[in-house]
Chain A
Amino acid sequence: MSERRLKATSGFYKKYVKKFYDDAHRAKAEKRPVAWVSSTFPVETLQAMDIVPVWPENYASVCAARQVSVELCERAEREGFSRDLCSYSRCVLGSMFGYEKELPEGGLPKPDFLVTTTCACDTHLKWFQVASRLYKVPLFLLDVPYNTSGGDSEHLDKAYVEYYMSQLEELFAFLEKQTETKLDMGKLRETLAVSDWTSKLWMEIQDYRKTIPCPMDARDAFSAVFFMLCMPGSQQAVDYYTQLRDQVRQRARDGIGVIENERFRLVWDNLPLWYNLKIFEYLNSLGAVVVAEVFSHTWAGSLDQSKPFESLARKYLPNMANSTAQRRVDIILNLVKDFHVNGVVLPTNWGCRMMSLSETIVRDAVYQKLGVQSLIIDVDSSDWRVAGEAQVKERFTIFIETLSK
Chain B
Amino acid sequence: MELMQEFRHSLIARHEIARQWKSRNLPVVGWTCTYTPEEVVYAVGALPVMVWAGLGDTKLADVYMPSNSCSFTRACFNAALRGDYDYLDGFVESNCCDNRGKTYDMWVNYSKIPNIYFINTPHTNTEKAHQFFYQEVVRFKEWLEHSFKKKISEDSLKNTVGVYNENRTLLKKTYDLKMKKPPLISGVEFLEIALSSLVMLKEEHNKLLSWFIGQVERRGDLPKEGVRLLVTGSIMDNTELVRLIESVGGNVVADDWCTGSRYFWNTVDLDGNPLKAIAKRYLDKVPSSFMYQREQRFRHAAELAKRFEVEGVIMFVIKYCDTHMFDAPLLRDELKAMGLPVLYLEWEHSMSGFAGLKTRIEAFIEMVGGVK
Q: Do the two shown chains form a genuine complex with each other? A: yes
CA distance A270 to B260 in the complex (A): 37
Is B344 a contact partner of A80 (Cβ separation < 8 A)?
yes
Is B124 a contact partner of A141 (Cβ separation < 8 A)?
yes
Is A325 a contact partner of B105 (Cβ separation < 8 A)?
yes
Contacts of B327 in A (CB 8 A): 126
Contacts of A364 in B (CB 8 A): 109
Interface string of B62-104 (1 = CB under 8 A from A): 0111111110000000000000000000000001011101111
CA distance A350 to B332 in the complex (A): 25
Residues in A342-371 with C-beta less than 8 Å from chain B: 348, 350-351, 353-354, 356-361, 364
Which single residue of chain B is at the shortest CB-CB distance from A133?
B330
Is B64 a contact partner of A360 (Cβ separation < 8 A)?
yes
Residues in A19-46 with C-beta less than 8 Å from chain B: none
Q: Shortest distance in angstroms between B138's beta carbon and chain A's nearest beta carbon?
A: 10
17 residue pairs of the A-B complex, CB under 8 angstroms, read: A81-B326, A82-B328, A85-B322, A123-B98, A125-B292, A126-B289, A129-B294, A143-B122, A143-B124, A145-B122, A146-B120, A167-B128, A353-B98, A357-B99, A357-B102, A357-B106, A376-B66
CA distance A324 to B117 in the complex (A): 13
Contacts of A166 in B (CB 8 A): 128
The 9 A-B residue pairs with the shortest CB-CB distance, nearest first, are A80-B329, A126-B326, A357-B102, A325-B105, A146-B95, A353-B98, A82-B325, A163-B132, A356-B66
Is B290 close to A, CB under 8 A?
Answer: yes
Is A159 close to B, CB under 8 A?
Answer: yes
Residues in B101-128 with C-beta less than 8 Å from chain A: 101-106, 108-109, 118, 120, 122-124, 126, 128
Contact of B69 among A79, A143, A353 (CB under 8 A): A353
Residues in A120-178 with C-beta less than 8 Å from chain B: 121-123, 125-127, 129-130, 133, 141, 143, 145-146, 148, 159-160, 163, 166-167, 170
Which single residue of chain B is at the shortest CB-CB distance from A139?
B292
Is B66 a contact partner of A348 (Cβ separation < 8 A)?
yes
Is A145 a contact partner of B120 (Cβ separation < 8 A)?
yes
CA distance A359 to B103 in the complex (A): 11
Which single residue of chain B is at the shortest CB-CB distance from A349?
B68
Contact of A353 among B131, B320, B346 (CB under 8 A): B320
Residues in B124-143 with C-beta less than 8 Å from chain A: 124, 126, 128-129, 131-132, 135
CA distance A364 to B63 in the complex (A): 12
Q: Shortest distance in angstroms between A1's beta carbon and chain B's nearest beta carbon?
A: 32
Q: Shortest distance in angstroms between A363's beta carbon and chain B's nearest beta carbon?
A: 10
Which single residue of chain A is at the shortest CB-CB distance from B125?
A143
CA distance A201 to B135 in the complex (A): 39
Is B323 a contact partner of A122 (Cβ separation < 8 A)?
yes
A: interface residue count bin? 35 or more
CA distance A145 to B136 in the complex (A): 10
Q: Shortest distance in angstroms between A115's beta carbon and chain B's nearest beta carbon?
A: 13
Contacts of B28 in A (CB 8 A): none
Residues in A289-332 with C-beta less than 8 Å from chain B: 324-326
CA distance A206 to B249 in the complex (A): 64
Q: Name B's A-contacting residues (CB within 8 A).
A: 63-70, 95, 97-99, 101-106, 108-109, 118, 120, 122-124, 126, 128-129, 131-132, 135, 289-290, 292, 294, 317, 319-320, 322-323, 325-330, 332, 344, 346
Is B135 a contact partner of A121 (Cβ separation < 8 A)?
no
Contact of B68 among A80, A127, A350, A360 (CB under 8 A): A350
Is A84 close to B, CB under 8 A?
Answer: yes
Is A211 close to B, CB under 8 A?
Answer: no
CA distance A121 to B320 in the complex (A): 14
CA distance A85 to B346 in the complex (A): 12
Is A234 close to B, CB under 8 A?
Answer: no
Is A378 close to B, CB under 8 A?
Answer: yes
Q: Shortest distance in angstroms between B293's beta carbon and chain A's nearest beta carbon?
A: 10
Contacts of A129 in B (CB 8 A): 292, 294, 326
Is B103 a contact partner of A357 (Cβ separation < 8 A)?
yes
Is A170 a contact partner of B126 (Cβ separation < 8 A)?
yes
Contacts of A359 in B (CB 8 A): 66
Is A108 close to B, CB under 8 A?
Answer: no
CA distance A124 to B152 in the complex (A): 38
Given A122-B290, A163-B132; A360-B70 close (CB under 8 Å): no
Q: Shortest distance in angstroms between A288's beta carbon and chain B's nearest beta carbon?
A: 24
The interface centre, meaning the residue of A85, A89, A146, A359 with most chain B CB atoms within 10 A of its CB, is: A146
Is A160 a contact partner of B120 (Cβ separation < 8 A)?
yes
Beyond A85-B325, A130-B330, A160-B120, 13 additional contacts (C-beta under 8 Å) are: A81-B326, A84-B68, A85-B322, A118-B123, A121-B322, A122-B97, A125-B290, A129-B326, A146-B120, A170-B128, A350-B68, A357-B102, A378-B66
The interface centre, meaning the residue of A326, A353, A361 with most chain B CB atoms within 10 A of its CB, is: A353
Q: Shortest distance in angstroms between A400's beta carbon and chain B's nearest beta carbon?
A: 23
Contacts of B322 in A (CB 8 A): 85-86, 121-123, 126, 351, 353
Given A133-B330, A141-B292; A360-B63 close (CB under 8 Å): yes
CA distance A82 to B98 in the complex (A): 17
CA distance A364 to B108 in the complex (A): 14
Is A353 a contact partner of B132 (Cβ separation < 8 A)?
no
Q: Shortest distance in angstroms between B125's beta carbon and chain A's nearest beta carbon?
A: 10
Given A126-B322, A143-B122, A324-B104; A82-B317 close (CB under 8 Å): yes
CA distance A253 to B128 in the complex (A): 52
Which single residue of chain A is at the shortest CB-CB distance from B66?
A356
Q: Shortest distance in angstroms between B119's beta carbon and chain A's nearest beta carbon?
A: 9
CA distance A167 to B131 in the complex (A): 12
Contacts of A163 in B (CB 8 A): 128, 131-132
Which single residue of chain B is at the shortest CB-CB distance from A130?
B326
Contacts of A81 in B (CB 8 A): 325-326, 329
Contacts of A123 in B (CB 8 A): 98, 322, 326
Is A146 a contact partner of B118 (Cβ separation < 8 A)?
yes
Contacts of A360 in B (CB 8 A): 63-65
Contact of B319 among A84, A325, A351 (CB under 8 A): A84
Is A353 a contact partner of B70 (Cβ separation < 8 A)?
yes
CA distance A126 to B67 in the complex (A): 22
CA distance A357 to B319 in the complex (A): 15
Contacts of B330 in A (CB 8 A): 130, 133
